[in-house]
Every structure is written in C-alpha cells, then in structure tokens.
Amino acid sequence: METTRDWTIPGVTVGFAAVAVLGLLFLPDWLMNLTVIAFARALAVVGLMVLWRTGLVSFGHALYFGLGAYTVALLGKDDGISEVLITLPAATLVAATVGLFLGFIVRRYREIFFAMLSLAFSMVLYGILVKTEALGSTDGFNVRTPTFLGFAPEDAGTTLRAIFLVLCALCWTVAVLVHRYLQSTLGRLTTAIRDNEIRVEYLGYSVAQAIHGKYVMSAALAGLGGGILAIALGQVDPDSMVNWTVSGELVFVTILSGPGSVAAPFIGSMIYELIRTYAFEWLPHAWQLIVGVTLLSIIFFLPGGVWSLLARLRRREVE
C-alpha cells in the first residue's frame, strides 16, 4: 500500500498548466467561460469535500458563496475597487470571518441538524438581500470589470482570458495546499471524525475544534469561488448566488465528484457544467430532470463519485 506513489501534486500541476496553455490557445470563448464558472464552483466544492469526508453535509454554503460574490460586487460599486488582488482576498476574508463566528455554533451539530442549521443561516442572508433595495433586491446589480495588478483589459475577450489564467493559478494553489492538508494529522481527522468521534476525543484532540477549522476553511474557499463567479458573470443577484438551490448545486457537485481526491471537484464541476449547458440547450424544459437522474444514479451506483470511476479505470490499467 505504502509503495503506490502519490501522483496528485504532479498530476494537478501538469493538469492545470495544460488547461491554462491549451485553453489560451484553443478554447472558444463560450467554453472558456464555462470552464471559469466550473472552476469557480469547484473551489467551493473542495471545501465541501473536506466537510463531507468529515461526515458533514452543508445545505447552506451558498451563504459563503454569496458573501464572496457580494463582497467583490460591493467593493466595486460606485467606481470602487476593481483590483482582483484586493477584491478576491477580501471576498475570502469576509466569508472566512463569518464562518469563524458561525462555526462556534454549527460545530455542535451533526447530520441533518448541521445541514438544516447551515440552510437556515444561508436563508437569513437570502432574506436580507432579497429585501435590500440598495443592493438591487431580487435583481441584484452589476459587478465592475476587474483589473489585474493594475492591468485593465480593454475588451471582454481579454478580461475573460485574464480571469481564466488567474483562476487556473488559484485552483492549482488551492489543490496543492488542500492535498497537503489532507495528508497531515488534521487532514486525516476528517474520516477519523466521521468514523469515531469518541476515539478522537479520547486520543486527546477536540472534535469541535477540528470541525470548526474545516468549516472556516470551507467557508473561505466558498467565498473565493463566489467572488470569482461574480467577476466572471459581471453580475450578482440573490437567486443565483445565495438561494438554497445554489447550496443544493454545490452539494450535488460534491457528490458527483466524490471525496477521493482534490482533483475530483474540478473534474466533477466541469462535468456538471457541461451536463447543465447541453441539457439546457437541447431540452430546456428537462435539464433539471437530467441533473436529477444523474444525481440519483450516482447515489445508487457510484457512491464514490466520478473520481472512483477514474480510479477504477486506472487500477485496471495497472493490472
């Protein structure tokens, strides 16, 4: 078992480098746009994956996703700040801070109660945003065109490419860091907590603290993802950023991806975005049906997500 080399870090490095280079050379705008949306969501899913390994499913991470998105949008409001070097860290920080506070509460809960409490908190934000005229209520408002280290792209195509490159770099960093984290003691305190909290406490580690840390981490990642999505879409509104259906979408991609690897959320998110886009194009009245059937099939036939499928294929190749 020990002898199997861990290819994750070289894998994601080559993977993201290839996506970045090939993307710039060959991807048409619509596909690049799709990739950006998928990767932005994948960042949030990485955090949810860590929670899921711990046995926790949050039906309310749209809260942090939305916080990140609205932070970026608000900073840019009325000719404000558009520099991604400021807006994205701010989005992450705001989400992480709120996660830190709410974490003191949610860390006491498990299973359905954890899911419901997360949902309640996210719906509180939704309820506020929907009724806040200054933030455009249900219509939301526009996000300023971003600048990158002072560089202000002149047309939409260049902006998209710049976002794409920044995002590839961010995703690589997150994947490497989270992978490294998962290999540490704290990282193994995910499945270990899911398996047996009593044993963890009696080994001398606070389960509540461990969960709190993971919760803050997932909040920060969701904030970052939401911030990027806001920039990419050029617009924020409560229904596409904060409503419970957004949380449901994030959980869906988590299940679709599977908890097997940090690379999984990026692949899973890409698959989801493709399914959604094509289903919407071909069968506009049945795309939810297709998504629903996919989710059910995964729950029943592929509980380890698409990653387990890839892992199975690779194992067969080795044999």
Partner 1 sequence: METAITILLDGLVFSSYLFLVSVGLTIIFGVMKILNVAHGSLYAWGAYTSAYLIGVWSEAGFGDAGTFLMIAVAALVVGCVLGFVLERGLIQFMYARDEVIVVLATFATFLILEDVILLVFGVDPYFAYQPMAYLGSAELGGILRDVYSLTLIGLAAVVGIVLWVGLTQTRWGKLLAAVIHDRELSVAMGIDVTKVYVLTFMLGAVLGALGGAYVAPMVSVAPGFGVEVIVLSFAVVVIGGMGSIPGAAIGALVVGIARAIAVHKLPEVELFVVYGVMAVVLVFRPEGLFAPASARKI
Partner 2 sequence: MSALLEARGLNKSFGAVTAARDIDISVAPHEIVGIIGANGAGKTTFVNMVTGWLKPTSGRILYEGHDIVGRTPRQITRLGICRSFQVAQIFGSASVFDNLLIALGIAEARGLAALRLLRRPDLADKADALLARYGIADYRDQSAGTLPQGVRKLLDIAMAMVAAPKVLLLDEPTSGISSDEKFELMDVVMGALKEDGVTVLFIEHDMEIVGRYVSRVVAFYQGEIICDAPPLVALADPKVKEFVIGEDLHNQTLLQGGVLQEAPDARG
Site of interaction with partner 1 (CB under 8 A): 57, 59, 105, 108-109, 111-113, 115-117, 119-121, 123-124, 126-128, 130-132, 244-245, 248, 251-252, 255, 285-289, 291-293, 295-296, 299-300
| Nearest residue to 233 (alpha-carbon basis) of 85, 70, 26, 27 | 70
Query: What are the residues binding partner 2 (CB under 8 A)?
Result: 1-2, 181, 183-189, 191-192, 194-196, 198-206
Residue 204 Ramachandran class (φ > 0 left, ψ -120 to 50 alpha, else beta): left
Count Cα neighbours of 126 within 13 Å in the Cβ-side half-sphere.
21
Residue type (1 letter), 177:
L
Q: Which is nearer to partner 1, 75 or 129 (CB)?
A: 129
| Nearest residue to 271 (alpha-carbon basis) of 240, 294, 302, 247 | 294
Name the 3-class secondary structure at 128.
helix
Whole-number minimum distance, CB 10 to partner 2, in Å? 17
Whole-number minimum distance, CB 99 to partner 2, in Å? 19
Q: Which is nearer to partner 1, 62 or 231 (CB)?
A: 62
Q: Which is nearer to partner 1, 26 or 202 (CB)?
A: 202
Q: Using CB distances below 5 to 8 A depending on partner kind, what does residue 192 bind out of partner 1, partner 2, none?
A: partner 2
Whole-number minimum distance, CB 121 to partner 1, in Å? 6
Q: Using CB distances below 5 to 8 A depending on partner kind, what does residue 186 bind out of partner 1, partner 2, none?
A: partner 2
Q: Using CB distances below 5 to 8 A depending on partner kind, what does residue 10 bind out of partner 2, partner 1, none?
A: none
Structure-token pair, residue 93: 């920080």
Whole-number minimum distance, CB 268 to partner 1, in Å? 14
Q: Which is nearer to partner 1, 144 or 212 (CB)?
A: 212
Q: Identify any residues that bridge with 151 across adjacent strands, giving them in sequence order.
A: 148
What is the distance between the alpha carbons of residues 114 and 193, in angstroms, rounded to a whole number?
15
Whole-number minimum distance, CB 8 to partner 2, in Å? 13
Q: Using CB distances below 5 to 8 A depending on partner kind, what does residue 188 bind out of partner 2, partner 1, none?
A: partner 2
What is the distance between the alpha carbons of residues 62 and 12, in angstroms, rounded to a whole number?
26
What is the distance between the alpha carbons of residues 51 and 63, in angstroms, rounded to a whole number?
15
DSSP string, 262-302: TTHHHHHHHHHHHHHHHHHHH-TTSHHHHHHHHHHHHHHH-
Whole-number minimum distance, CB 17 to partner 1, in Å? 34
Name the 3-class secondary structure at 219.
helix
